[in-house]
Amino acid sequence: MVRVYKKESYRNNLLRKEVFATCENERCQMQEAEVAGRLITVIDTPGWWRESSRCTKELDKEIVRGLSLSQLGVHAVLLVVPLDMSFREVQMFTLEAYMNLFNASIWKHAMVLFTYGDRLADKSVEEHIEREHSALRWLVDKCENKYHVMNNKKKNDMSQVTELIEKIEEMVAINSGQLFCPDMYDVHMKLDEKFNMMQLKCVLKQPVVEECIRRELKLMMRFRETLLELQADVSGSVAHTKSKSLIGDMRKIRNIGFGERKKDQKEKETTYAKISQEIEKLNKDILKSTKFLQSSKDLLIPDLPGASPAESITDSTTNFYKVLGWLSKLKLNTNVNDQLTLSFSETTGYGSVLTADFDFNE
């Protein structure tokens, strides 16, 4: 039996029958069928690489659960990359984060499955790999140059599936028939560690992001004031031109024809309208930034209970969330070069200044 653990679509074509829903699934599914004289089992997981922002702990748990559906393990891990989309750094980092949840031997069982092969036209997949972003070359290299292409417009072409199965069997032979069966307890430990690191980065990044938005907000408000002053000048100029035309300024009529005065007035009105549009856009951006700063406090870890921060970070029983709570109290200062710096001593109780009698040899 050839077991296939895959990431995305084309599952129905592998089994030569409509057993999986065509819409994007949120839960792992497992189906099997006899194809080309072999019993094939396909485990389908939720998609992830198209939208890295969808990566949540719940989604990650569901994706890794796919491997636990096969108690014996899997022979092949198919990493599906549609040829109608570019595989770049974002997809590379997201994929690497997932693969790192398992031990390094997963790459010996991994193969890239390119779909939408019709997008290649007269170009070979090798040419595509070389011309694409280096991230795709990285993926192919990690899979030890194992890949296969399937053409979406040739769904009835059985040779595509047969060739894929033969490549999988060749890989199985190289792996001495050994299945990939990770320690799921270890996987979930790494998953917790992954999201702990994400929370840590979020807490440390939050004050920096807030400060940058505050600075940007000040610049936008200053620019808005400049535009309002310019708009007032243009508005006064338009009103002055209209009043002149009403009372009939004979001296101006002698120098400027009626058509030119009308054109000049229209240009000023157009300028006024453009400034108004920019002010309206700025108002929306200012409102958006203001709302973010107001809601950003909800993203931080709650206050530390009980002990002071200085005591809690030296206590061996302090849990991870208490440390995050302490870090969330750090505030930003600026140095003489107007660069952002973290302040430990002023807001947390943790002394960062060495005393005169401090002995480095202690």
pLDDT score of 140 more than 70: yes
Confidence of residue 354 (pLDDT cuts 50, 70, 90): very low
Helices (H), ranges, the chain: 11-15, 57-68, 89-99, 125-131, 134-142, 158-174, 184-247, 250-255, 258-295, 309-312, 320-327, 345-348
Angstrom distance (rounded) from CA 134 to CA 78: 20
Is the pLDDT at 170 greater than 90, yes or no? yes
Q: Tell me the mean pLDDT in the region 106-133.
A: 92
* pLDDT surpassing 70 at residue 345: no
Q: Rounded mean pLDDT of 35-39?
A: 83
Burial class from Cβ neighbours inside 10 Å (0-12, 13-18, 19+) for residue 310 reads middle
The predicted structure's pLDDT at residue 129? 94
Question: What proportion of the chain, given as a percentage, has pLDDT over 90?
Answer: 20
CA-based nearest residue to 327, from 341, 339, 342, 317: 342
Q: Would you say 255 and 300 are in contact if contact means Cβ atoms under 8 Å apart?
A: no
pLDDT above 70 as % of the chain: 67
The highest-level CATH class for domain 2-182 is alpha beta
What pLDDT was estimated at residue 297? 55
Residue 64: per-residue pLDDT:
86
Average pLDDT over residues 156-171: 90
Mean pLDDT of all residues in 155-178: 90
> What is the CB neighbour count within 10 angstroms for residue 148?
20
pTM of the model: 0.62
Please, what is the average pLDDT of the chain? 76
**pLDDT tens column, 58-94:** 888 888 888 888 888 999 999 989 888 889 988 898 8
Confidence at residue 239, expressed as pLDDT on a 0 to 100 scale: 56
Q: pLDDT tens digits, residue range 250-298?
A: 454 455 555 666 777 788 888 888 889 999 998 999 888 888 777 765 5
Interval 329-342: pLDDT, tens: 766 676 666 666 66
**Does residue 101 contact residue 183 with C-beta atoms inside 8 Å?**
no
pLDDT computed for residue 305 by the predictor: 47
CB count in 10 Å sphere of residue 179: 14
Read off the pLDDT of each residue in 179-200 and give the average, rounded to a whole number.
Answer: 87
pLDDT for 114: 93
Evaluate if residue 353 carries a pLDDT over 50: no
